[in-house]
Structure 1
Amino acid sequence: MSLIDDFIENSNDALQPLYNGNTSSFLDTAGFEHADPVMLETGFVSAGLAKDETEIFSLDLVQFQFPAHLVAMSVSNEILVMALETNHILRIDLQQAHDVEDIEIPRKSEGKIYKIFFDPTGRHLLITTEQGENFYLFEKWKKAKVLSKFKGITIESVGWNRFNGSSSDTSTKKILIGSRNGLIFEAEIEPTDEFFKKEEKFCKQVYSLNRNVPITGLRIEQFPATTRKYLIVAATPTRLYQFIGNATPSKDDEVASMFESLFASYAINPVFQELPGDLNYSELQFYSQYQELQYQGAAKNFAWLTNPGIYHGSLVFGSQDIGDSVIDSAKLLPYPTTPNNDTTAAEIPLSIALTEFHFILLYKERVKAICQLNDQIVFDDVIPLVTGEEVRTMTVDNVKNTFWIYTDSSIFELIVSKEDRDVWKLYLEKQQFDTALQYCKNPAQRDKVLTTQAEHYFSQKRYLLSASYYAESTVPFEEIALKFVERDERDALKKYLLNKLDKLRRQDLTQKTMIATWLVEIYLSKINMLEDLAASSAGSDDISNFKAEQTVLEDEFKGFLEQYRTDLDKKTTYNLISSHGRTNELLCYASLIGDYEKVISHWIQEGNYKQALDVLSKQASVDTFYKFALVLMENAPSETNQAIRYLQYVVQQLKNTDPAIHNFLLTLYATQPTNDESALLQFLASEGREPHYNLDYALRLCSQNRRMQSCVHIYSNMGLYEEAVDLALKHNDLELARINADKPEDDDALRKKLWLKIARHVVEKKREIKTAMDYLQHCDLLKIEDILPFFPDFVHIDEFKVKFLLMLKLVVNY
């Protein structure tokens, strides 16, 4: 019977919940599903030891009936491999947990499996024996192959190369191998199906520690900013070595060493940290923030298990060169003491694992977790062992961030859930407020951090900083405002109010108005205070500082008014600014809220007509134009002419059609201190039959300013031809009257009526009968009998005899 058949037979009686491949837990709904247990032939089953979900750490036993004792185990990228003392390898894809592969190691010697090493991709497995025989197993192989070039090397550690090569490359790429006797080898293994071709491309010794000690840890890291520069970390039970330098791979020679030149720089003077002790083993673990295969980054932290304790710190990659160190903030954490009868002793762990915030320590009978932030034990649980069962070690899937403990006959998963849940509290205790905020999970936690931070700065009299954080907290407004008022910290109060105002909702109108008004008072008081200080410091060196500070504050206040003008009450704000005698600020506020009449009135009262005209030209209210145009025309004619030229350009060149602009330009034309109407008439004519100015306003304005010809033009444009003719005759402008009398071309009756008005005016008013007879030739609608009634009773016919006979002749001929 084969091993797998024996395994299946012994597993048939067990109820085995289905494992769906998520290695975060073998118990909850993300792992084993308890709803409907089903039979599985793999032997995986939860023993139900997981604790409450609120626990960060929980130990979960995975039932697996081993056909033989477990020697070594490794998990990588959700692939689990186990080495049994019978020289068999079991391989399980945790996403297809029902399929267990049984692979036998070639029995060419009596050597027992010592350790196995699994690369991060879960494709390459190295197997080493006590006698220095080594084997290689690729991801799809059903049989391991002997690595003849590795013969005699008992492997203690492997530094996998995660940076060189592509994800589709089946080769291991250049890797480093640490031996039992202090030697480091560089090798590359590439799986092949060719019978006579060896998998190992090359295997070459590149460094010797010159000490007969095991190299218990190896790590290859690439400098983020310089892809050719590498860091190699090697650990022994008492020393931690660092090698920094450029790697020099050869493109032409496949078997060329990549790291030999790097190690050569340390042949004489190696760089290491030594922690003496009599421990014959150690472990080196790293934590990287980005663990996915395609996004792997440089390691962030490290932990080294040594005899004195856990030597740990962070890795900082910069401009380091040969002989330098990348280790920063290194510390030695002694192991926690364990009560033993009447004494306490610090037991040395068997293995260590590193998470983002915790050290996980594995002992002979229990597992502990220590928080890195406060060195406190946060988890301590007994491993449920049977009699004679022996804990082996711990293995970590660094890609999926899962943690596994195994004995010679059991497997446990240490489930880590939400380990950053309480981190914000720990950073808060350490007064690392910004970091604490990053780990807050809800508004209540965030408010606690902000409040504590504000109180901390307040106690240190750093009031401005305190104000910023108080404004983001939910501490009552009145309480904080009173704190700053009692200490007369006006600047801090201003900052607090500004931040609070900025965070109020749009519908909080009353609160916004109240706070904004208070800020106006604070700004004005501070500006006046600085002005008084500058005045009292005349002749001293401080005067320039006071004036500069005042200028900055005035600019800030104007910016405040611009931003919050809609939240301020107009009347209250006017009164406040006026009471402090701040004219410039008053004018600024008036301009911001569109109260241009107040601004213009001020400049006119000051006699600054040019400034008044500038303000007038920037606003669009027609009534304001009308109100101030005459005053400005009288007092600033030259500036007004400049305005006319500018508005002409806007209307004619820019084709502006805004009625306010056209009305204002009309006003400027009509109010010019001259009797010449040519410019005004030209403007009116250019507007056409559909002018952009207001006709009623134009007629009223021209009439008030005695622009008769323009009034006639406007009457005509409005279709009021009779009024146009009457006005022209009233001013004895016969030519203008005649022009307008002919405009109603489609209304003969009206034309005749208008011409009769002209004829009557000529006869009755001017007594020019001859001229009246001439009009009979200009208008085909008039006949002599139409104008005869206008002649006086006693008139000499000699004055128009010739014209009269001519007219009679025309009538006879007709």
Structure 2
Amino acid sequence: MLLPLQSPDHVAHIHLSRTGFHAIVSSKLGHNFYIHLKSNTVHQLKKLRCQVTAVGWNPDYSKDTDATGPILLGTAQGSVIELNVGSTGMTTVLKELTPQVAQIERMTSAPSPAAAITDIQLFQLDDDPKNKKWMVIIAQMARLIVLVTENEPPPPPKLGGFTSSASLQAGLMNLGAEQAPVTTFHPFFSAPNTQPHTISSSKFSEKFKNHGFLTMHPMISEPKRYAWLSPDGISIGKVNIFAERIQDVLVEEFNIEHRLIEGRLEPPTGIALTDHHVLLAYSSRVLALSLLPPHSVAFEDPWAPELGAAVGFCSDLTTEFAWLYTPTVAMKYGTNDEARYVWKTYLDRGDYAKALQIARARKDIEPDALEMVLRKQADFYIQEKK
């Protein structure tokens, strides 16, 4: 599949929908394309001239193969755009909702250039068709913004003030000026009842200006854990999208310090989460860090320089593979029985509940693990009673 890009322009971002039916591809110079993956057709979005750095896919349309439904686009300039495009490439909605989500402030309190929006997570919180409640989480370099709002009813159509009898007989009616397409998510940025909450990094770094990546796991179902890349490090925490307080939606559990790559600090170009590891894509390698202290490197995969530097990371949530892409190649990464050593780590630390949970899930694969955990747990309780 070739895109009509001319040098020096090249693909900068690939955004794949959760179920793999749709993709938005954005180039370095701001050319954008919608790809309908079921029919393998490419449609250029000529009216959209900006670098799209993030896409919030609509969960209402996760099984729809013909249209994206209303989705949110984040740009390199920090703006948010609503888009609705069909399988034929016809755009029914394309409107900027806010020119800039928020200004990043330096530690000196002096205003800094707007940071790119690096991720958008969109959630529907109820099933009321008339008044849906939505949550969006927007990531930037040093800021996570959580917004909760409800859909506003669409405005009534404006009818013309006069319709002649001749027009009525001909079946014509003057409806006045053509109405602009009604957006779905404008209440996030305009409704007075929108609930906002911001989580900020304590540091500012130009190196991380466009690298504030956010990922969640699992994404096919309700997410339980998040990983956020910021100048402070890699924040790992719990997710509860149905929390009563908006401040409890994202709760940090621990922070992993950035690692030096070949002796220097290099911001990752992408991030992904699995059950027990966080995957980090760097310009010349992929690292998998354990989520258990001391967060050691469980996997490292460097590649030859001729394959090019990593441009980004794209997760296929249906197959649970992560795709890393360079200007010339794409590489696929996936897990292979990643829990086979985790139960032993929990057991050695005396966390019998978690060790038992994993061992029970693996009893058909590794029956000795369950027996060992139960025996160690029994020995522990016997010693406690002495």
Fold shared per TM-score above 0.5 = yes
Q: Deviations over 1:249-282 (max 9, x none)?
A: 7599993222222333589984211112212222
The structure-2 alpha-carbon separation of the partners of 1:187 and 1:347, relative to structure 1 and needing over 3 Å to count, comes to closer
More helix by share: 1
Give the Cα separation in 2 of the matches to 1:269 and 1:394: 31
The CA deviation at 1:143 is: 5.4
Q: How does 1:531-546 map to 2 (within 5 A)?
A: none
1:473 corresponds in structure 2 to none
The structure-2 alpha-carbon separation of the partners of 1:252 and 1:400, relative to structure 1 and needing over 3 Å to count, comes to farther
2:168 corresponds in structure 1 to none
The CA deviation at 1:185 is: 1.4
Counterpart check, 1:161 vs 2:84: no
Give the Cα separation in 2 of the matches to 1:165 and 1:446: 41
SS at match of 2:35: strand
Q: 2:61·2:68 contact (CA, 8 Å) conserved in 1?
A: no
2:204 corresponds in structure 1 to 277
Q: Which runs of 4+ in 1 moved over 4 A?
A: 109-112, 140-143, 224-227, 248-254, 265-270
Question: What amino acid is the match of 1:301?
Answer: R
Question: What amino acid is the match of 1:181?
Answer: Q
Q: Deviations over 1:621-656 (max 9, x none)?
A: xxxxxxxxxxxxxxxxxxxxxxxxxxxxxxxxxxxx
SS at match of 2:337: coil
Question: What amino acid is the match of 2:4?
Answer: I
Q: 1:360·1:368 contact (CA, 8 Å) conserved in 2?
A: yes
The structure-2 alpha-carbon separation of the partners of 1:226 and 1:320, relative to structure 1 and needing over 3 Å to count, comes to farther
SS at match of 1:281: coil
The structure-2 alpha-carbon separation of the partners of 1:231 and 1:426, relative to structure 1 and needing over 3 Å to count, comes to farther
Fraction of identical pairs, as percent? 23
Give the Cα separation in 1 of the matches to 2:345 and 2:134: 34
The structure-2 alpha-carbon separation of the partners of 1:114 and 1:364, relative to structure 1 and needing over 3 Å to count, comes to closer
Q: Pick from 99, 116, 121 the counterpart of residue 19 of structure 2.
A: 121
2:187 corresponds in structure 1 to 261
1:306 corresponds in structure 2 to 230
Counterpart check, 1:448 vs 2:340: no
Q: 1:221·1:299 contact (CA, 8 Å) conserved in 2?
A: no
2:169 corresponds in structure 1 to none
More strand by share: 2
Give the Cα separation in 2 of the matches to 1:226 and 1:309: 39
The CA deviation at 1:248 is: 4.2
Q: Pick from 129, 134, 143 the counterpart of residue 230 of structure 1.
A: 134
Q: 1:374·1:426 contact (CA, 8 Å) conserved in 2?
A: no
Q: How does 1:541-580 map to 2 (within 5 A)?
A: none
Counterpart check, 1:105 vs 2:4: yes
The structure-2 alpha-carbon separation of the partners of 1:385 and 1:110, relative to structure 1 and needing over 3 Å to count, comes to closer
Q: 1:224·1:298 contact (CA, 8 Å) conserved in 2?
A: no
Give the Cα separation in 1 of the matches to 2:288 and 2:350: 23
2:90 corresponds in structure 1 to 199
Question: What amino acid is the match of 2:54?
Answer: S
Q: How does 1:328-477 map to 2 (within 5 A)?
A: 328-337=251-260, 340=263, 347-386=266-305, 389-440=308-359, 441-442=362-363, 443-461=367-385
Question: What amino acid is the match of 2:372?
Answer: K
Cα RMSD of the aligned pairs, angstroms, is: 3.3
Q: Deviations over 1:449-490 (max 9, x none)?
A: 2233233334444xxxxxxxxxxxxxxxxxxxxxxxxx6xxx
Give the Cα separation in 1 of the matches to 2:126 and 2:294: 30
The structure-2 alpha-carbon separation of the partners of 1:407 and 1:242, relative to structure 1 and needing over 3 Å to count, comes to same
Q: Deviations over 1:567-624 (max 9, x none)?
A: xxxxxxxxxxxxxxxxxxxxxxxxxxxxxxxxxxxxxxxxxxxxxxxxxxxxxxxxxx
Across the two proteins, how many residue pairs are aligned to each other?
A: 342
Question: What amino acid is the match of 2:319?
Answer: K
Q: 1:105·1:144 contact (CA, 8 Å) conserved in 2?
A: no
Give the Cα separation in 1 of the matches to 2:65 and 2:25: 21
The structure-2 alpha-carbon separation of the partners of 1:262 and 1:412, relative to structure 1 and needing over 3 Å to count, comes to closer
2:121 corresponds in structure 1 to 219
Q: Pick from 250, 255, 268 the counterpart of residue 327 of structure 1.
A: 250
Q: 2:82·2:94 contact (CA, 8 Å) conserved in 1?
A: yes
1:134 corresponds in structure 2 to 32
SS at match of 1:428: helix
SS at match of 2:241: coil
Give the Cα separation in 2 of the matches to 1:351 and 1:166: 23
Q: TM-score, normalised by structure 2?
A: 0.77
Q: Pick from 97, 101, 108 the counterpart of residue 209 of structure 1.
A: 101
SS at match of 1:451: helix
The CA deviation at 1:371 is: 1.1
The CA deviation at 1:214 is: 0.6
